[in-house]
A and B are shown apart, each in its own frame.
Chain A
Amino acid sequence: MDDRNVILEVRDISKRFGGLRALDTVSVAIRRNSVHGIIGPNGAGKTTLFNLITGMLLPDSGQFEIEGKPIKKVRPHQLVSIGVSRTFQNIRLFKGMSVLENVMIGQHVHTPTAVFSIMINGRKSRSAENAAREEALAALGFVGMARNVDQNVDSLSYGNQRLVEFARALAAKPRILLLDEPAAGMNPTEKQHLLRLINSLQQKDYTVVLIEHDMKVVMNVCSTVSVLDHGKKLAEGRPEDIRRHPEVIRAYLGKSDRGHA
């Protein structure tokens, strides 16, 4: 693969939890401006891979490179400045805070924290606050949640909470956006909306890495798909090819066979 086109490279990553081998020398190269799907049965190691990329877990071996630069011992909060932000499989919004406040947290690293100016309500802090608000509103407008800004996030439907989390990740202005099952719990209309959003992100120069169970979503938006099973990469390629890949079919059907036993 052309190296210049790779924005995020995962190289021979392994991670064990006790006796469980969650990821076993997995390598994935994610091309710039692509929508890269990561699929696999439950427990295949997909979310573990996200947690490793975002520094929430440390790998036992292997490394990551972003635009050719290795990222080592980077703490999770520093990764946003490097240009990676994520959403979570089980929505992790800040409860009790408004939609706007939630998304403004996404702007955290992009606005200065002028402590002195904040104390005296100075111009610097006010303009930073306004800038953060504008960016947050833009992100909310993009996902179609601009009307609910003052609402408490607890009162939103599941699908809308996912959209707010999506907006929060976008407000962090990432180059690489990691979406962990963004369509889970969404109804068909909401899924359609989400697909359109992801497609338009690709046109806007983002790179999206997507964990998803819903094959319809994967087939519709992903340009490349990597399949994980039991911590190993089974296959990688275009979605059309992956769908017919015998190993992949076996992994998925095999799982349901065991499920009945």
Chain B
Amino acid sequence: MKSIMSRRRGLAAFLLLLIGYHFTPYFVTNLYHLHILNLAGIYTLVVLGLNILSGYTGQVSMGQAGFFAIGTYVSALLMMNWSIPFWSASAMATVMAGLFGAVIGIPAMKLSGPYLVLATVGFGEIVRLVLLNWTPVTKGAAGLVGIPLPTVLGFVVTTEKHFFYLILASLLVGVFIALRIADSKIGRTYRAVCEDELAAEAMGVNINRYKISAFIISAMFAGFAGSLFGSFSGVTSPDNFTFDESVGFLCMSVIGGNRSIVGAVIGAFGLTAVSEALRVIQGFRLVIYGSILVFTVIFMPKGIIGLFRWICGNFSVKEID
């Protein structure tokens, strides 16, 4: 049971870190930096879902930008056209993304490896093209302008600092839910399905149900993140949801460590920071991105969190308990 104890301690440290993170706006006064942190927080929500999908059940998706886009557009359009309040719109967007997750998950349960990747790439592109061409509703390439700001308990969220706390709160809830899923019977069954479908089935696991549910969960995470993203940005267009975006999410997932919830947080924040730092050398950005990814896959397939655990396991003084 020692491993569980040390895991608990790791989790506690992680939660402390998150709470410490609360005070960030008092140190980071540069609005641009705060903006990047907020974006990273939103991306983390997407990557949390993606880790459950690709890390736990082994279904690699390169179409998360599609679910993210559905979340953004559904909530934005609900708020703009019917003046539905942010939280209701956000909830509906999350459910809608989840429905699309089921629609993709059903054919996906028969696919694996490169075929599944291609199918999800196709889904992401279809969503983007529909947004681009369904002009009467989505305003096409021009996108949506003037997405209303969220209201929390009668309080309108306006500044970067306000958004910081809104996103942080959402992130805490998201991390908690993802941890519960990962750490429970559901997460264990997901991993079993990933390791050996046949054996899991022989033990009574309805593998199709589990594979689809992972798709739905990941889509809901992305959809909710999308609804935050829309209100946070105020404007949106199909350009925000390209294939590159999906690849970016997958990179965050893999680099952070895709079979770990904490890994999702590390990957999303780390890669968002790197990507902003590299904005000055725009042309080389994808080269460096790619190199990091290749390096990760070859030398630390379990991501940064895997490396971290390896270091703790090998160099720590024997634990006292």
Contact = CB atoms under 8 A, between A and B. Distances in A.
B316 interface: no
A113 B185 contact: yes
A150 B205 CA distance: 23
B180 A92 contact: no
Contacts of A129: 184-185
Contacts of A121: 180
Contact of A94 (B2, B191, B201, B207): B191
A97 B198 CA distance: 16
A229 interface: no
A73 to B, nearest CB: 15
Given A96-B195, A121-B180, A80 B203 contact: yes
Interface residues of A, number: 40
Q: Label chain B's interface by main secondary structure.
A: helix
Contacts of B192: 94, 97, 102, 105
B145 interface: no
A54 to B, nearest CB: 6
Given A118-B181, A132-B185, A85 B195 contact: no
Interface string A71-113: 0000111111100011010001111111001101110110101
Interface in B158-211: 177, 180-181, 184-186, 188-189, 191-192, 195-196, 198-207
A118 B177 CA distance: 9
B186 A76 contact: no
B312 interface: no
A125 B207 contact: no
Range, interface on chain B? 20 to 34
Q: Which of B186, B196, B199, B204 is packed against the most chain A CB atoms within 10 Å?
A: B204
Contact of B202 (A76, A95, A115): A76
Contacts of A29: none
Interface in A166-197: 168, 172
Contacts of B180: 118-121
Contacts of A120: 180
B320 interface: no
A92 B196 contact: yes
A80 B206 CA distance: 11
Nearest to B185: A113
Contact of B205 (A56, A95, A108, A111): A108
Q: Which of A79, A92, A132, A168 is packed against the most chain B CB atoms within 10 Å?
A: A92
B184 A150 contact: no
B3 interface: yes
A76 B200 CA distance: 10
A138 interface: no
A98 B3 CA distance: 11
27 contacts: A56-B202, A75-B201, A75-B206, A77-B201, A77-B204, A77-B206, A78-B204, A79-B202, A80-B202, A80-B203, A81-B204, A85-B203, A92-B202, A94-B191, A94-B196, A96-B195, A97-B192, A102-B192, A108-B189, A115-B186, A118-B181, A118-B185, A118-B186, A119-B177, A119-B180, A120-B180, A128-B185
Interface of B: 1-3, 177, 180-181, 184-186, 188-189, 191-192, 195-196, 198-207
The 8 A-B pairs with the shortest beta carbon distances in the complex, nearest first, are A80-B204, A109-B204, A92-B199, A94-B195, A118-B184, A76-B201, A94-B192, A105-B192
